[in-house]
Every structure is written in structure tokens, then in C-alpha cells.
Amino acid sequence: MGTLKKIEKLVLDISILLFVVMLGIVLFQILVRNLFGKSFAQLEELAIIILPWFGFFCATYTLYRGNHVQIEYIYGKLPKTVRRVIFCLIQAVLLLLIGAICYYSFGLAMRQMKVVTPALGWPNGISYIGFPICSPLMAAPLVYNIYKIVCWPEEDGQGIDLLHKGD
């Protein structure tokens, strides 16, 4: 199993774990609130902190699987060489976008580390630091895509499609 496949599996496992924990917290909160009329503010905050992390890891997994939204109709009608050039440009633009968002979200996370959550007393920046942590993981399949297109232009498929050939 290649390195990207291992990272993809790790990202999926983390996503599933975060989902199960968040779902468990929310279901427990609903049960306790309905049975006893009270809820735990700490658990609500924890679910709120887990939610963006879950989103970042799911977005990362989507990039690994190549399941992000694309407009295929026009793209599919173009000649193969033009499609490859456009594909590489899209990957480069996504890399720049991830880099810019990572830069600004890291600054936001560091500023929010000074603010604590009311119930848990944890730094608020914990919610925001997920994107800078996931950014290198998001960038890896994009770099792989560009590498595959540039180094192996004769291969069928495009970049990440080759990673999942035969799945």
C-alpha cells in the first residue's frame, strides 16, 4: 500500500472516529435532556469543537478520493492534452487556495488561543487549528495529481484517478 493510500486510510479512520464521538455526544445530550431536563454544557462545547475538525478531515478525504465537485460536461468534451493542462491548472489553483486559507486560518487560530471556551475552559483556537493541520494532508493528493500528469502523461486517467484504479 502506497503512502498516499495509507494517509487516505488514516484520514478516513479519523473522520469516522470524529463522527462517532460527535454523534455519541449529541445522542447522549438528547437522551439526558429528555429524561432529566438538563444537559451538560461541556459536552455541547466538545461537540461544537469536534464539528469543524470533522469537516476538515472529510474535505481532506474527498480530495483523496477525487470526489470534489467538478463540471464534467464541458471538460469531458475537450481534447486530452487540453484536459490535462486544465487539470494541472486547477490543482495548482487549489494548492494556492489551500495555502492562503492555511496561512490566514493559522493566524486566526493563534489569536483565538487567548480566548477560552466558557464551559470547558479550553483555548478557542482548538476549533480553528484543524485547517492548518489538515492543509498538508489536503495538498498531498494535489501535488500527486500534478506529478502524475507531468511525469506520466501516457497513463490513462488523471492523477488521483490512478491512485484508485481497480477500486
pLDDT digit string (tens) for 116-136?
999 999 999 999 999 999 999
Residue 68 pLDDT > 80:
no
Dihedral over Cα of 124, 58, 155, 93: its sign? negative
Integer Cα distance of 30 and 9 in angstroms: 31
The model's pLDDT over 83-106, given as tens digits with 9 standing for 90+, comes to 888 888 888 999 999 999 999 999
Residue 44 pLDDT > 50:
yes
Residue 146 pLDDT > 70:
yes
Which whole number is the average pLDDT over 150-165? 59
Q: Are 50 and 127 in contact (CB under 8 A)?
A: no
Reference 39, options 52, 54, 27, 53; nearest CA is 27
pLDDT at 162: 47
Q: How far is CA 98 from the centre of its chain?
A: 11
Query: φ, ψ for residue 114 (rounded to 5)?
Result: -80, -20
Which whole number is the average pLDDT over 158-164? 51
C-alpha cell at 48: 461544537
68 or 25, which is more confident: 25
52 or 156, which is more confident: 52
Per the listing, cell 494517509 goes with 7
Number of other residues whose CB lies within 10 A of the CB of residue 105: 20
pLDDT at 69: 66
Radius of gyration for the alpha carbons in the chain, expressed in angstroms and rounded: 20
